[in-house]
Chains A and B, each alone.
Chain A
Amino acid sequence: MTALAALIRRDIRIALRVGGGALIGVLFFLTVVVLMPFAVGPDLALLSRLGPAILWLGALLASLLTLDRLFMADHEDGSLDLITMSRTPLELACAAKALAHWLAAGLPLIVATPVLGLLLNLDMVATGAVALTLLAGTPALTFTGMIGAALAVTLHRGGLLMAVLVLPLSIPVLIFGVAASQAVIVGPMTFGAPFSILCALSLVSLVIGPFAAAASLRHGLD
C-alpha cells in the first residue's frame, strides 16, 4: 500500500510543479468551451440547450489529451523499467498512476464546470447535473484512455494516434454522460437510468483499464 501511495503522491507532485501539466488541461477545457459559441452563435437559448454536450466534449478532449504522457515520461527516464520490475503488481501501479492523473487533471475539470456553465447560460440545476455526471464519468475516460497511453509507449508514438485509438472507446461514456445531464434539464427520461449506466461504465473501466494497460506495457517492453 505504501508503494502505491508513494506513486500517487509522486505523480501528483510532478503534475503540480513547474513543468507539470495539471492546469493546462483546465485551460484547454476553458478554451474549447469558449470556442463553441463562435461556431454556433451567441444565442443563449441555443447555448443552454447545447451546454451539457459542449461541456462533455470539452472535458472528454481535455482529459484524453493530457493522458498522452501518462507512461511516456516514465518510459523515457527509465522509471517504467523499475516499476515493471518491482514487487508491486504492474496492474496496481497502472491503476495508481491513472488515479493520480485523475486527481491532478480530472478533478480540476469538474471544479471548473460551474464557471463554464455560467458562460453557456446553464442554470444551477443543469450545471450541477453536468458536474455530477462528469464526476461519475471522467474516471471511465481516464481509465480507458490509459490503455491508449500504454499503447503509445509500446508503439513509440503519441499524440494524435493515441486520440484516434481511444476516442471511439469513449463514445459510450459520452452518450450516457450527456443523456443523464439532458434528462435533468429537459427530460423526458429519468436521470437514474443513464446515470447508473455511466457509473457502471466507470466501474468496468476501473477493472479493465489497468489490466489492458499493464498487458500492453509488458508486451511492449524492450
Chain B
Amino acid sequence: MRLSGHGLRCVRGGREVFAGLGFTAASGEAVAVMGRNGSGKTSLLRLIAGLLVPAGGTIELDGGDAELTVPEQCHYLGHRDALKPALTVAENLSFWAAFLGGERGDAAATLATVGLDHATHLPAGFLSAGQRRRLSLARLLTVRRPVWLLDEPTNALDVAGQDMFGGLMRDHLAGGGMIIAATHAPLGIEARELRIGGVA
C-alpha cells in the first residue's frame, strides 16, 4: 500500500496556506509533518481526511480497498477527543467501534493497553486530559484502518503515555500501516520528515 499526495494546494479564508506540496508513505512508513505554527500541518491532515477540499492536487492510496475512499480508510486523531462526557469510557469506545465498523478488536484488551481498564464504567467526563487522549488512542486500536492521521498525538500525554503510544505506532507500522503525524516534538519512532511552510 502507498499513500501519496501530488501538487496539493490549500487555501483557507482567501489565503494560500501551501501549494505544490507532495508526499508519499509506503506500508510501514511514517511521515512526520513539521513546520511552524500556521504552516498548514493540520490543514494537510484534514485534506487527507477529506475534511477540507484541496484547491488543487490529488491524494491517492494505491493498493487500498478500491470500494472505499481514502478518508474511509483513515483514522483521524485531531485536537478534539470526540468523547462524550456523559457516557462511560466503555460506552464511548464501543460506540466508535460500532459506528466506524470494519474489523474490530477486543475492547477490554484495548482499554488495558492504553491503561484505562480500571475506569471502564466511569463517565468520560471524570477523566483528565491525558486520560481522554488515551481513550482516543483506544479508538485507533479497536477498529483497524491502514492509515493513521495524527495531529499532535502526544499532546497531554505523560512520559509513560508517550512510550506506550510509541509502541502502538511501531506495532501499527510493523503490521503494514502508515502514519502521517503533524508534530513539534519528536514522535518516538523513525519517521521521514516533511517540512512545510519554509524554515521555522
Residues of A within 8 A of B (CB): 2-3, 5-7, 9-10, 13-14, 17-20, 76-79, 81-88, 221-222
Contact = CB atoms under 8 A, between A and B. Distances in A.
B71 A85 contact: yes
A88 B74 CA distance: 14
Interface in B37-92: 49-53, 68, 71-72, 74, 76, 78-87, 91
Interface string B155-185: 0000000000000000000000000000000
Contact of A7 (B12, B51, B91, B99): B99
B101 interface: yes
Given A86-B101, A87-B100, A221-B51, 15 more contacts: A3-B100, A6-B95, A6-B98, A13-B91, A17-B87, A77-B82, A78-B78, A79-B82, A79-B84, A81-B49, A81-B76, A82-B99, A82-B100, A87-B102, A222-B12
Nearest to B139: A82
B96 interface: yes
A82 B96 contact: yes
The 6 closest A-B pairs by CB, nearest first: A78-B80, A6-B98, A17-B86, A78-B82, A79-B82, A85-B71
Nearest to A15: B86
B72 A10 contact: no
5 contacts: A17-B86, A77-B83, A82-B100, A87-B72, A87-B100
A175 to B, nearest CB: 38
A18 B85 CA distance: 10
Contact of A221 (B52, B68, B95): B52
A88 B68 CA distance: 11
Contacts of A19: 85-86
A79 B78 CA distance: 10
A3 B101 contact: yes
Contact of B84 (A77, A86, A222): A77
B48 to A, nearest CB: 10
B78 A14 contact: no
Most buried by A among B50, B52, B98: B98
B76 A85 contact: yes
B100 A86 contact: yes
